[in-house]
Amino acid sequence: MAHTFEELKKKTVAELREIAAGVDHEAVKGYSQLNKEHLLAAMCKALGIDMHAHKKVVAGNKADIKGKIKLLKSKRNEAVAKKDYKGLKHLRRRIHFMKRELHKAAVMPA
């Protein structure tokens, strides 16, 4: 039976240990002594499963957002050179907002 990372992550330690009992791999030796975090990592290694869930971009264009951030950073550097602290604060907030938009654009798959 093929398992996924999300499926294994939702299981209890006892259920993971039952699965590990049926797996003959060096990574899961001593499975009865491992806690959930270490057992999950060992199971993924033994079964050849990716340890992290992949995100996919659902909205917006990542390249456009990154380009805008780069432009704002160059303006920020100019503001630092001119010692324009009011403008600097504004630019830093805009950069922060754009980074948050970039993070929101990448969501976990359903």
Note whether 43 and 60 are same-domain residues: no
Note whether 39 and 63 are same-domain residues: no
Over the chain, what is the mean pLDDT?
86
- Phi and psi at residue 87, in whole multiples of 5°? -65, -35
Q: Could you give the dihedral angle defined by the CA atoms of residues 39, 44, 50 and 55, in that order, rounded to the nearest 10 degrees?
A: -40
Tally of structural domains, the chain: 2
Domain span holding position 42:
5-47
Note whether 82 and 39 are same-domain residues: no
Q: What angle do CA 69, 89, 107 make, to 5 degrees?
A: 40
Note whether 42 and 61 are same-domain residues: no
Note whether 42 and 73 are same-domain residues: no
pTM attached to this predicted model: 0.49
Contacts of range 32-39, beta carbons closer than 8 Å, 24 or more positions apart: 36/12, 39/13
- Which one of 22-31, 53-62, 68-77 scores highest in mean pLDDT? 68-77
Note whether 60 and 103 are same-domain residues: yes
Q: What is the reported pLDDT for 47?
A: 87
d(CA 102, CA 68): 11
Record the tokens describing residue 59, joined without a space. 């909205």
Question: Residue 83: is its pLDDT beyond 90?
Answer: yes
Q: What is the reported pLDDT for 60?
A: 64
List, in sequence order, every beta strand (DSSP E) within 3-84.
56-57
Query: Which of 13-22, 35-44, 51-60, 80-89 has the weakest average pLDDT?
Result: 51-60
